[in-house]
Every structure is written in C-alpha cells, then in structure tokens.
C-alpha cells in the first residue's frame, strides 16, 4: 500500500486516504477534434512497466488532486506535484533521468 506525500497539505498519506485518477497529463479533446485525437484522449492509456505519471486525489484529506511520478515495477516514488501543470516539473524529470538513464521521457 503506497504512501504519497500530498504536495498541498504535506501529509504523507497512505493509499487508503487517496483515490486514484489514473494517467496524468492527458490533453482534453472536445468538439471539433479528430476521431483519432478523441480516441486517444478517451481510451488509449499507457501501462508502462517503469516510470509512470498518475493522478491522485487526497480524498480523505485536503481534497486536492495531485500528480505523482513513480515506477510501477519497484514502486519507487520520484515525486509528487500539484495538478495545475500540463507537464512534469523539471526537477522531477531530472531526478527520474538520474535514476533511470534509459527512460525515454513522459510523452
């Protein structure tokens, strides 16, 4: 059972205080978008064995959504950060690259 530190309230929350929100950094495609873009937005989800970016909500705590970068194989957490961003912060990317030299980036 994971522990993730909520970047808003600083609580090191265990998984039972959180609700999962699956893949992070999805770009919404609304009316006028192509079938392919909409399909990718709606259905095409990454399922990597390795570095992954996820949405979590501190549901039983401060109620805020945050994002987490972790390794799905070892459960190592590289960092958590606020949801108000469309891409991972540079320091987290740097940390992942240092620990996982083969990592190809979040896209």
Partner 1 sequence: MSKIVSALNGAKFDGFASIREIGPVGMITLRAKPDVVGLAEAVTAVTGTPLPALRRIEIAGDKAAGWMSPDEYLIVVPYAEVAGALAVLAEKLAGQHHLAVDVSDARAVFRIEGDKAVEVLQKLAPVDHATLEPGELRRTRIAQVAGAFWADDKGYTLVCFRSVAAYVMGLLTHSAQSGSELF
Partner 2 sequence: MSSRLAKGGRLIDRTTACEFSFNGKRLKGYKGDTLAAALLANDQMLVGRSFKYHRPRGIVGSGAEEPNALVNMGTGGRFEPNQRTTTTELFDGLTSTSQNHWPSLEFDIGVVNNYAARFLPAGFYYKTFIHPRFAWKHVFEPIVRQSAGLGQVPKERDADRYEQAYAFCDLLIVGGGIAGLQAALTAAKAGKRIWLVEQTAHWGGRAVVDGVEIEGQPAEVWVNATLAALSKMENVTIRNRCMAAGSYDHGYVLADEKVADHTPGDGRPRHRLWRIRAGQIVTATGAIERPLSFAGNDIPGVMLAGAVRDYVINFGVAPGDRTVVVTNNDDAYRTAIALKEAGLEVPVILDARANLTGELPAKARAMGIRVEAGKGIAKVKGGKRVTSVAICAQAGQGAVLEEISCDAVAMSGGWSPVVHLWSHCGGKLNWDTAKAHFAPDPARPPLNHDGSALVVTAGSASGHLLADEVLADATRAVGGEGAPSAKVPHEAPIEAVWVMPQGAPVELRAKMWLDYQNDVKVSDVQLAAREGYTSVEHTKRYTTLGMATDQGKLSNINGLAILADSLSTAIPQVGTTTFRPPYTPVTIGALAGEARGEIFQPLRRTPVYDWHMAQNAYMEPVGLWRRPYCYPRAGETHEQAVHREVLNTRTNVGLLDASTLGKIIVKGPDAGKFLDMLYTNVMSNLGIGKCRYGLMCNEQGFLSDDGVVARIDEDTWLCHTTSGGADRIHAWMEDWLQCEWWDWQVYTANVTEQYAQFAVVGPKARKLLEKLGGMDVSKETLPFMQWADGVLGGFRVRAYRISFSGELSYEIAVPASEGRAFWDALVAAGAEFGLMPYGTEGLHIMRAEKGFIMIGDETDGTVIPQDLNLGWAISKKKADYLGKRGQERPYLASPDRWKLVGLETLDGSVIQDGAYAPAPGFNANGQRNTQGRVTSTYYSPTLKRGIAMGLVKGGLSRIGEVIEMTKLDGSTQQVRICDPVFYDKEGEKQNV
- Is 20 a binding residue for partner 2 by CB under 8 A? The answer is no
Residue 30 contact among partner 1, partner 2, none, beta carbon within 5 to 8 Å by kind: partner 2
As measured in angstroms, the least distance from the Cβ of 69 to partner 1 is 21
If we measure between CA atoms, which residue out of 50, 99, 57 comes closest to residue 80? 57
- Is 1 a binding residue for partner 2 by CB under 8 A? The answer is yes
As measured in angstroms, the least distance from the Cβ of 15 to partner 2 is 8
Spell out the residues 6+ positions from residue 67 whose beta carbon is closer than 8 angstroms to its own.
Answer: 24, 25, 53, 54, 55, 56, 80, 81, 82, 83, 85, 88
Residue 47, SS3 per DSSP: coil
Instruction: Calculate the CA 44 to chain-centre distance.
Output: 15
As measured in angstroms, the least distance from the Cβ of 29 to partner 1 is 29
| Sites of contact with partner 2 (CB under 8 A) | 1-3, 14, 19, 21, 28-33, 35, 38, 41-42, 55, 57, 59, 63-65, 74-77, 83-84, 99
């Amino acid at each position: 059972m994971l522990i993730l530190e909520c970047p808003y309230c600083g609580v090191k929350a265990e998984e039972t205080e959180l609700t999962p929100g699956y893949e992070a950094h999805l770009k919404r495609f609304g009316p006028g978008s192509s079938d392919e873009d909409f399909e990718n937005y709606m259905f095409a989800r990454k399922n990597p064995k390795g570095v992954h970016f996820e949405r979590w909500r501190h549901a039983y705590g401060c109620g805020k959504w945050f994002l987490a970068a972790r390794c799905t194989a070892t459960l190592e957490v590289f960092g958590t950060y606020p949801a108000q961003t469309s891409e991972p912060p540079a320091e987290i990317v740097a940390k992942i690259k240092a620990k996982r030299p083969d990592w190809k980036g979040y896209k």
